[in-house]
Structure 1
Amino acid sequence: MNLRVKVKLLRPRLLSNVFRFASTTPEIVERNEQVLIDDTDAAQVREAEIERKRNISRLTQAHFNIINGRMPYDEPKCLAHLTVKYHRKMYGKYGAQSGVDPSLCWPTKQDIEDRKEYESVAFPYTIQQMMETAAQNRKEAQQKIEQREKEVEAKFVKLEQWKKELNDKIEKKARDIQAAKEKKERLVEEVRRHFGFKLDPRDERFQEMLAKREKEQKKAEKQARRDAKEKMIIGKLQQKSVEMSDGKS
């Protein structure tokens, strides 16, 4: 059998082998891709586990993320994380990494109106009016200071006079006390002379007589003041009548 005949005989078998292997090639590729994917997932899981064990800080995940410059939470954990204020804060701190829509950082029309209303109540005056008010307040405060300085200066000038008046009052009070003491001593001496013998001042009879003499003396002093006042009034009336008579003449 020559070579050409052998080739003709082997051709159907070769073709069948080609078709057989061609039909199973996609399944092998799919299995290989699946194995590669499974290996990738396993590697990622291993890396995550290694990273978890490497973290020995014992911080919570949120605190660990903050320290490493990441957002504390990947998803909301409470109602506060759903507010506009929280989203604005996250965008201000982490920027586009936060995944927050930047349009939330701009106030709404209602926010602007509310702010205008608040400022109209809290700050009803313009800047020019506030500057004028502040200048007026400073001027009034300076005037009060100057007025106070003038009063202190005037009082300082009268200081010597006040010191003299105070010393005079002190001396007068001392004289009054001494006069009262001497008056008391005279009454006690008069009571002793009344009894004609030495008597204990604590004795009841002595105390009664002393009270009686004090009462009589007060009455006499009161009458003397009344008489002096009457004489003064009479003197003024006489002087006035003399002046009137001189005027008529």
Structure 2
Amino acid sequence: MALPIQRCWSRLRAVTLQWPAAAGYHAKPVPLNLSGVYIPNPSDPNAKAWHKGPAFEAKLYGRYGRASGVRPEQLWPKPEELQRIEGEEKEWYPSLGEMLSRVEAKEKEELKKKQQREHLIAGNMAKMPKMVEDWRRGKREARQKEKEEKAKKQRLLLVAREKFGVTVDPRSPKFLEMMKDLEKDERRKLKAVKRMQLEEDRAAIAAAFAVKPPADSDSSSPV
């Protein structure tokens, strides 16, 4: 068992690099100055941008304390900055009471919308019988009108047959022209009937309100 393992190991060493050619790389140690406090100079033109500003000073004070040379009172935000921070906190981090009041107002609004929707549905359901009856009446009127139009067309066909003596196509110009003339005559007759009825009504009203003359008195006046 050991012989095959030795052969395999010898072949593996033959195909790999030799030890001197695979010498390890020894990097130089990083020069770190861990003694004291490193405080960059913001006025230095080579200073990094993140080494400037109150955020980095607050970081230095948080890490080194008084040894950083940063005065803690200058880290406190200015009034306008404090107002901006308070506004952001009120907008993005509301208090528990505000959150509960918002949830309650939202629930009330949803309940109000639900009640309005239920009231609308109830009102529509109450109107449903009348709407169905109106729809049925409209269908009946449409069928009646269709019957009247069909009867009118048949009557006009008979009139045209009597007038021309042959069967006339309802789509022909002669039939359409005759239909217009007959409709004009019917409207004229209807207007005449209405005018006569109006005159009769006026005459009846005038007769009803006519002032009768006083009757003659046969009695003589006293002497």
Larger relative helix fraction: 1
TM-score normalised by L of structure 2? 0.47
Larger Rg: 1
User: What TM-score, normalized by structure 1, do the two folds share?
Assistant: 0.43
